[in-house]
Structure 1
């Protein structure tokens, strides 16, 4: 029984190390805060991870016998099944990661990897449009501008009307945020307005007290699970930080 419990602890410790690496990749690379909350991946991913890292060691605890002839084979099968389940979960999370945070007219929109229009992504690659190239790592902060081609503008309009791809899902339209600095600053709102919106929440007011009104403005962040705000420099329009604060009344 002692050997069985030792094997269980060893398997659990190894699974924990793998889980720690997975957590780092998901929450610090693919879904940097607060995007994991905005997209709604936190609970689902942690639940899948908890199941995956515990079920393998538990099976090891049940089947482990030091002198069992097929022990190595059994442990190998368990490890492979556990790794396969982890890879499947990680791939699902990877496909749903925020590929871009796109400034769109008067707000930022989170665009997940599986929402990006493949044809538009291919066009961005072909035209060597760096802002429109999907990264395997952290999401890119970009802006979307209208197409210069009237026919293409009309196609995009019709697509958006019927629920198809719109500006935030079309990498061919992406440009660096610096290119639309003036528009961003015109659309950005004062911190005083955000404080007024949350005047009954002392925690949010304390968080916002870090920044000065004449130095920072904000824009709404629209996301699938939970909206937030993006703080930008009041003079350069450089993105400072995104916050898990409701931008709407």
Structure 2
């Protein structure tokens, strides 16, 4: 088996890894435009470079022409590549946006790594195959618990958005969402008018918007007259 054949098979293996990772990252965990909101692109490009360059390059370097089938070389390189793949996917998985949480008057993007771990309702547990979901967060009706939540928010920076035990269905907060929604006139102060018009044509039922706080950038969430979420768009809220 020639060096070119070995490298060719290694490239095919790398392409397989990339196809799986692309689906998981950009279709399941970070659907557009949340990939930009969470800032995953830089990490993914490093991941791609490690997977696509590491395997073929190492095979090309360590391949010994005098051996008919260099199984040891192939096994070592493949093991490194598989390990890199799973480690990279684990890092990306930990940073994925799990919740888009309505708190008071805006939405916050909450990544898996941001979540404050406590006992959680089964409805709001994280799942591997789960796409980002919209929810609302409210203070506990128990006075003592509410006091603890407020103190931890002030002194430890643990916001309600990071506490799944405070989550409730967003549908039940639709009236509050609608009440806090803002006029599109505000968007024209910080965005290109053409971009706003395209968004309004895309969502003809929209009647307002709320800010969505992200990691790298902030965007907006569009809502209709019932307070239901229509979608996320790449417009600056401020």
| TM-score, normalisation: structure 1 | 0.88
In the TM superposition, residue 211 of structure 1 has moved relative to its aligned partner by 4.7
Counterpart of 1:247 in structure 2 is: 237
Q: Which runs of 5+ in 1 are unaligned?
A: none
For the residues of structure 1 that align with 2:205 and 2:23, how far apart are their CA atoms?
36
Equivalent residue pairs, number: 237
For the residues of structure 2 that align with 1:55 and 1:73, how far apart are their CA atoms?
16
Root-mean-square deviation (CA, aligned residues, Å) is: 2.0
In the TM superposition, residue 46 of structure 1 has moved relative to its aligned partner by 1.4
In the TM superposition, residue 58 of structure 1 has moved relative to its aligned partner by 0.9
Is the contact made by 2:187 and 2:236 (CA closer than 8 Å) also made in structure 1?
no
Question: Among 137, 152, 160, which residue is 1:159 paired with?
Answer: 152
For the residues of structure 1 that align with 2:48 and 2:205, how far apart are their CA atoms?
44
Counterpart of 2:214 in structure 1 is: 223
Is the contact made by 2:199 and 2:233 (CA closer than 8 Å) also made in structure 1?
no
Counterpart of 1:76 in structure 2 is: 75
Distance change >3 Å, CA 214–CA 118, structure 1 → 2: closer
Is the contact made by 2:97 and 2:112 (CA closer than 8 Å) also made in structure 1?
yes
Distance change >3 Å, CA 191–CA 6, structure 1 → 2: same
Counterpart of 1:118 in structure 2 is: 117
Q: Which runs of 5+ in 2 are unaligned?
A: none
Q: Does 1:133 align with 2:125?
A: yes
Counterpart of 1:184 in structure 2 is: 177
CA deviations over 1:131-155 (Å, ceiling 9, x no partner): x222322122100011101111111
In the TM superposition, residue 166 of structure 1 has moved relative to its aligned partner by 1.5
For the residues of structure 2 that align with 1:208 and 1:179, how far apart are their CA atoms?
26
